[in-house]
Amino acid sequence: MDDRELARSLQRGEPHAFEALVEGHYDALYRFLRHLSRHRETAEDLTQQALLKAVRNIGSFRGESSLKSWLHRIALREFTGWRRKRRLWLPLDALKGVPEPAYGQVDEAESLLALLHGLPTPLREALLLFHVQGLSVEEIALVTGAPVGTVKSRLHHARKRLQSAEKDIQESYCYEP
């Protein structure tokens, strides 16, 4: 089922359409929001909220972009709203140092995540949307509302910062006799 057909099915309230939407897009949206929020439960909540908002507002989907980029734009707005509202606090469970099974098991993955989350939000968003979510530069521009040139610039600067940070880490492990 293509994007427009799925959108029409959702507008008609067909039960299989919501299932198709979730099956086709939940994992990608969750992964994107998981990287942005760095918290599994928050990512699950935001993903569900984004999908529900998409269903409620499916009439505004004009088909000018892909459904994937339209959904990522909604997810990004949900994340941005969540980030504005949240209070910074550290639960006592976080002090135990027990990593989640999927994260923290591999030192390289943990280092990469730390570097990634050290980037300013616009650079991190562009990098995740391009390399993790597989969106084109034009789709990222639609999702973020930034011009194509700005997206290209953000990708360039994000890559440069990651390369520089990686080089610094490698140099710190190299000892000269």
Judge whether residue 1 has pLDDT over 80.
no
pLDDT digits (tens, 9 = 90+) for 2-28: 878 888 898 898 889 999 999 999 999
Q: From residue 173, how far is each of 52, 62, 67, 118 by CA, in Å?
A: 47, 52, 45, 20
pLDDT digits (tens, 9 = 90+) for 89-110: 545 555 455 555 544 344 566 6
pTM for this model (two decimals): 0.65
Q: Where are the alpha helices (DSSP H) in 86-146?
A: 107-117, 121-127, 137-144
What average pLDDT does the segment 143-165 reach? 92
pLDDT number for residue 83: 87
What average pLDDT does the segment 39-62 reach? 93
